[in-house]
Structure 1
Amino acid sequence: MIKNFFKNIGPGPLVAAAFIGPGTVTLCTIAGANFGYALLWAMVLSIVATIVLQEMAARLGVISQKGLSQVIREEIRNPLLRNFAIILVISAIVVGNAAYEAGNISGGVLGLQTLLGNTYVDILGFRLEIMALLIGLCAFILLYIGNYKILERVLVGLVIFMSLAFVTTAIITKPNIVEVFKGAFIPSTPSESILTVIGLIGTTVVPYNLFLHASLAKTKWKQKSDLSFARKDTIIAVILGGLVSMCIIISASAIQDQSINNATDLAKGLEPLFGSYAKYFLSIGLFAAGITSAITAPLAAAFVASGCLGWEYNLKSTKFRVVWIFILALGVIFASVGFKSIEVIKFAQVANGLLLPVIAGFLLWVMNKTEVLGKYKNSLIQNILGFVVVLIAIFLGVKGIMSVFNMI
């Protein structure tokens, strides 16, 4: 039974790996350092919303044996609407993931730098970060092999590694359990916390994970009878991923310091209070978060491009490889030279802010189509939960776009 359970662990941990990136680690760190346990409820809400949407994406992949971007291309009949949807999706996911990839790799580098110090070298007048090149090389090798089982096992291993690191860090800080439960289940919004709340939900409920999950689910499972495995995999992985994020908030709550701005600051701040072990565990967790996201972001973009443009869904196809190599290469170059294009990242944020409610709404529409899912279409309860999540997505999208243009 246990062997069968582990055999059917798959896309869920990869989705968790995708949403627990350096950005999530940094935001959770800021949330804990600035507001203590008060915003843990936002992560609980995020977990529920993510399970609702990711279960739909996984069910779509298993039952229809199609990726979400492929379904968008096939099910939107109006050419104008279809072309608009494809352009929006490609802009947000492919361009967006290219913009965020440098941050994913830089996050992994930060984790290593906290342990090893700076690893810069000067080559032909350029100051290059060697660790960024090594992380990029590791991601390249894993993706180029093009074997789903190998990719899955490595990422599941890294997620377990990351989870143990962050959970251990939280335990070391000896949190007040009563206050933790109070923060998790009694919503409160301390002064100036609303943008952090939006950020916590927005970094967990992410558009590209819906595309990634549907594509990976159809790759992993081929039979409709496998749906129960897909659901268990989704629920367990998202809950564990959410708990990891909560552990980061709990760890940061141990240091009530407004000057804590990222996980590296937190690692240094924990050391004098709880010894060097806390720093090591947190740094290892940040490294694992960076490298897992550095692998899943290019992978998701390649799946999206393949579905939208009608290419073959094959990890070893030339077109598929060209997309992820392009995104990975951009990330490595920008992370190596320390360059971050703020305008590109802002564009990605706006595009993703627009995309989340659109894709969540489209997913809800598709999940009610008998010709696509047959008897596996949404139930009334699933529709109600989905509708609530779409409303949350609209709220997040509007707030996210307003914050980019400094309107709030």
Structure 2
Amino acid sequence: MELTKNKKPLLKRILALILSFGPGIFAIGYTIGTGSVTSMIKAGSAYGMQLTWVLLLSCLFSGILMFVYGNYTLITGETVLYSFKKYLKAGKFIAILIIVGVSVGQWGSLMGILTISANMLYEIFAINFDSLKAYEYETVLLISIIIVGVFYAIMLVGKYTFFEKILVVFVSFMGLSFIISLFFVHPLPSEVLEGLIPYIPESKDPMVSGKMMVAAFVGTTMAAATFLSRPLFVKGKNWSIKDLGKQRKDAITAAILVFIISGAIMAVASGALYHQGNPVNNVLDMAKPLEPIAGSFAVAIFFFGTLSAGLSSIFPCLLIAPLLIADYQSGTLDTNSKQFRIITGIACLVALIGPAFFGGKPILVQILSQVFNVFILPVVVLGIILLVNNKKLMKGYKTSLGVNIGLFAALFFSCIVSYTGVVGLVTKYL
């Protein structure tokens, strides 16, 4: 009797903990999608764990920026892009530039995410229905339309808390799938430790250089969309200045989980493929090489985790443009407004460009979109540094020396990575 009583509350506590996860769940949704999974797999299979240091720094700075962006809104009551427009010189231009740059980057990723997710579902159906192999393009396109249609319908009837609960389910499955996969295939501990030493490996890939992979890593794990969207998600959670501690805990938890899940993906690819000299360019290519080493069960788990990663990213990518525009207007995200329906409808149509015109798996496009994401980072970091150090705006709340050191380190890091990305692109394509 005693044991039975103890088990039930424990399960309830675990479920309550998962469901209580706040705006950080959107950070994971933005950060870990099929594009991110592909980058991690590609890096792990080609370089082993040599880029662990990039992942660690990106997650550290992303956590600091999520914390600072959330705190600013809780303390001032204002959203950040609106504050850029209102308080910074040339702020209106900067805010619009950020909205356009981030939205275009996220919509570009959305095309690849939808294409790869639809292809993965097609592969599952094709295993059971041989006749579908003659209609691959049509089937992938139909699946894409159904996915987009379902997500758009959910967005029209749902609200923030509803979106959050759906993402909790996808992200939970994704995280568990990749972490379980790590028990089947993993790199040596010494390789992980060596990966913490800053080093940019040479690439043998004719399309993607080592410098581009570093920029892509930062573009996906330290994505501007992650912390730019946080003020609206914090408002959607109805948090107030009394919830500063809760907001800090949520940001830290999100950054740690992004590091663990992303690191697990890279580690599985490293353990399964790096020493065999089998770099991959596609998530779906992971299945066959992994099966002889880990078995069909591990492949199924990894496959399911990757699909969950794709589906968990569709929601945040569809939301990004209306979120940033609402931020600019200093409003709240109204999912019933005409503006929301039109913008998300356009995003759905843009997403269908991938499966309709590319048909295959635009992995290079995914990586390039992540590289381009880093170019807006320095502006986004510098802007928040100026805001949180404005004593008048912060209403007596002083930004600590430690947080400022972290912010300036993030600014320096973002500038270096942006330069690295430019050099990588110029060297490879010009």
TM-score above 0.5: yes
TM-score normalised by the chain length of structure 2: 0.84
In structure 1, the partner of 2:61 is: 49
Aligned CA distance change for structure 1 residues 349 and 235 (closer, same or farther; 3 Å): closer
User: How far apart in 2 are the matches of 1:188 and 1:150?
Assistant: 42
Of 115, 139, 143, 2:124 maps to 115
Of 329, 333, 340, 2:349 maps to 329
Q: Does 1:220 align with 2:237?
A: yes
User: How far apart in 1 are the matches of 2:364 and 2:46?
Assistant: 27
In structure 2, the partner of 1:300 is: 320
Contact 1:61 1:68 in 2 (8 A): yes
In structure 2, the partner of 1:371 is: 392
Write out per-residue CA displacement over residues 154-187 of structure 1, whole angstroms, 9 at most, x where no aligned residue. Answer: 10111011001111111111443x2254145444
How far the C-alpha of 1:229 sits from its partner, in A, is 1.0
In structure 1, the partner of 2:193 is: 182
User: How far apart in 2 are the matches of 1:129 and 1:189?
Assistant: 38
Q: Which runs of 5+ in 1 are unaligned?
A: none
Name whichever of 238-247 and 130-139 sits farther off: 130-139
In structure 2, the partner of 1:191 is: 202
User: How far apart in 2 are the matches of 1:216 and 1:392?
Assistant: 26
Contact 1:130 1:336 in 2 (8 A): no
Contact 1:66 1:218 in 2 (8 A): no
How far the C-alpha of 1:346 sits from its partner, in A, is 9.9
Name whichever of 226-235 and 195-204 sits farther off: 195-204
Contact 2:46 2:279 in 1 (8 A): no
Contact 2:118 2:140 in 1 (8 A): no
User: RMSD value over aligned CA atoms?
Assistant: 3.0
User: How far apart in 1 are the matches of 2:362 and 2:175?
Assistant: 31
In structure 2, the partner of 1:394 is: 415
Q: How does 1:4-403 map to 2 (within 5 A)?
A: 8-76=20-88, 78=89, 81-117=90-126, 129-176=141-188, 178-192=189-203, 193-253=210-270, 254-256=272-274, 257-309=277-329, 313-338=333-358, 352-403=373-424
Contact 1:109 1:131 in 2 (8 A): yes
Write out per-residue CA displacement over residues 103-140 of structure 1, whole angstroms, 9 at most, x where no aligned residue. Answer: 121232243244333868869x9775222122212321
One-letter code aligned to 1:42:
V
Aligned CA distance change for structure 1 residues 95 and 370 (closer, same or farther; 3 Å): same
How far the C-alpha of 1:406 sits from its partner, in A, is 4.2
Contact 2:110 2:314 in 1 (8 A): yes
Aligned CA distance change for structure 1 residues 371 and 26 (closer, same or farther; 3 Å): same
Q: Which runs of 5+ in 2 are unaligned?
A: 1-11, 204-209
Provide the secondary structure at the position in 2 that maps to 1:376: coil
Contact 2:215 2:370 in 1 (8 A): no
Contact 1:121 1:127 in 2 (8 A): no
One-letter code aligned to 2:252:
I
Write out per-residue CA displacement over residues 169-222 of structure 1, whole angstroms, 9 at most, x where no aligned residue. Answer: 11111443x225414544444334443233222210011112211210122133
User: How far apart in 1 are the matches of 2:364 and 2:375?
Assistant: 17
Write out per-residue CA displacement over residues 353-400 of structure 1, whole angstroms, 9 at most, x where no aligned residue. Answer: 431100111011111122332243421110011001001111222222
Name whichever of 63-72 and 306-315 sits farther off: 306-315
Name whichever of 285-294 and 2-11 sits farther off: 2-11
User: How far apart in 1 are the matches of 2:295 and 2:368?
Assistant: 41
Aligned CA distance change for structure 1 residues 195 and 95 (closer, same or farther; 3 Å): closer
User: How far apart in 2 are the matches of 1:223 and 1:380?
Assistant: 24
User: How far apart in 1 are the matches of 2:414 and 2:197?
Assistant: 22
User: How far apart in 2 are the matches of 1:69 and 1:276?
Assistant: 48
User: How far apart in 2 are the matches of 1:175 and 1:127?
Assistant: 37
Write out per-residue CA displacement over residues 298-356 of structure 1, whole angstroms, 9 at most, x where no aligned residue. Answer: 21211112233566532221112221221122102432443699999899668634311
Aligned CA distance change for structure 1 residues 278 and 128 (closer, same or farther; 3 Å): closer
User: How far apart in 2 are the matches of 1:42 and 1:233?
Assistant: 22
Bigger Rg over Cα: 2
Aligned CA distance change for structure 1 residues 183 and 4 (closer, same or farther; 3 Å): same
Aligned CA distance change for structure 1 residues 61 and 106 (closer, same or farther; 3 Å): farther
Provide the secondary structure at the position in 2 that maps to 1:255: helix
How far the C-alpha of 1:292 sits from its partner, in A, is 1.4
Provide the secondary structure at the position in 1 that maps to 2:404: helix
Contact 2:26 2:226 in 1 (8 A): no
Counting aligned pairs with the same residue, the percent is: 25
Aligned CA distance change for structure 1 residues 240 and 347 (closer, same or farther; 3 Å): closer
Write out per-residue CA displacement over residues 267-305 of structure 1, whole angstroms, 9 at most, x where no aligned residue. Answer: 221012211112211111111111111110121211112
Aligned CA distance change for structure 1 residues 365 and 336 (closer, same or farther; 3 Å): same
Aligned CA distance change for structure 1 residues 23 and 74 (closer, same or farther; 3 Å): same
User: How far apart in 1 are the matches of 2:70 and 2:264?
Assistant: 26
